[in-house]
Amino acid sequence: MTKHGLVIDQERCIGCQACAVSCKQENNVPMGQFWNRVLTEGGEKMDTPSGGYPEDGGSGSLDMQYQPTACQHCENAPCVKVCPVNATYTRDDGIVEIDYDKCIGCRYCMAACPYNARVFNWDEPEHMPEEGTGDVEARPQGVVEKCTFCSHRVDEGLDPACVVNCPADARIFGDLDDESSTVSKYIDKYETDQLLEDRGTDPNTYYISGEMSPGRPQTSDKMESELDDVSPWSDGDDDVPSKEADSAGGESSGSSHSVEGGEIPYATPAKSGGDD
């Protein structure tokens, strides 16, 4: 079996927003909505740190990290369970998708998703340019939409748009069921977290924090399984530390992240009903 998963190396992520915007372009995401947001772990607003500016000339307590966040494609997806019309479902390859023809816009899934990953088309979707961009299925007013892991690309053997457009090589996509895949190796060898692990959702999205990985050098837009070499960017085991040796990773928690107050109207709490 194949189970698609994503590893995001937060040590590499530079918060450049290329993944957020290329996602909109690729997937024809309406204006005012984001499927993929780059959250700042730090201060209350985007690109601000937590802690205080050093007063003694030292390095002080300031701290900041970026956490790109989209649908986590959970193994045990709460959105799938609550959908009364089976519009949200899990594909055989692990990708959680929505059948927009079935969606009745009840938004139970938005309430159930602890990651605030879903958006609802309250109005007729607006695009700039008006005719839209992405060559994907159109979503009408009144349905919920979210990240699909670019399943239209994956089905053609291409990595998701956010992965191929990352200039920091911070996003790695692959088959979690294949233990020789880079995602599997990285999860094994680095300190990785799933967001809100205590919710039991078992996301197929993992975050590296602590020791930096070699990432996924962007020399091709093909999926790893489509490449001739098994893993041309992985030098092998000698350049990755063992998990035991590294205890640094920070705790990830959806509630500690924020974006600039109300300025990104992708899903306001009142409408989204997210529980964080």
**Rule CB under 8 A: which residues touch another protein?**
11-12, 14-18, 20-22, 24-26, 28, 31-32, 34, 42-43, 45-54, 56-60, 62-65, 128-136, 138, 161, 164-165, 167-170, 212-215, 217-221, 239, 261, 263-265
Residue 82 CB, nearest approach to another protein (Å): 29
Nearer to another protein, 220 or 256 (CB): 220
Cα 39 versus chain centre, distance:
11
List the beta strands (DSSP E) in the chain.
Answer: 4-9, 37-41, 65-69, 88-90, 96-98, 119-120, 144-145, 171-175, 192-193, 205-208
Closest CA to 172 of 241, 232, 223, 115: 223
Nearer to another protein, 200 or 265 (CB): 265
Please report, as a single letter, which amino acid is at residue 257.
Answer: H
DSSP state of 16: -
Nearer to another protein, 54 or 105 (CB): 54
Nearer to another protein, 60 or 140 (CB): 60
Distances 247 to 50, 67, 148, 237, 244 between C-alpha atoms, Å: 22, 19, 33, 19, 7
Nearer to another protein, 218 or 253 (CB): 218
Nearer to another protein, 188 or 197 (CB): 188
Element (H, E) at 185: helix 182-189
Nearer to another protein, 21 or 82 (CB): 21
Residue 214 CB, nearest approach to another protein (Å): 6
Contact of 192 with 6, CB cutoff 8 Å: no
Residue 153 CB, nearest approach to another protein (Å): 11
**Strand duo 205-208 + 4-9: pairing:** parallel
Contact of 257 with 41, CB cutoff 8 Å: yes
- DSSP line for 204-219: SEEEE-SSPP-----S
Residue 239 CB, nearest approach to another protein (Å): 8
Residue 144 CB, nearest approach to another protein (Å): 19
Residue 134 CB, nearest approach to another protein (Å): 7
Residue 261 CB, nearest approach to another protein (Å): 7
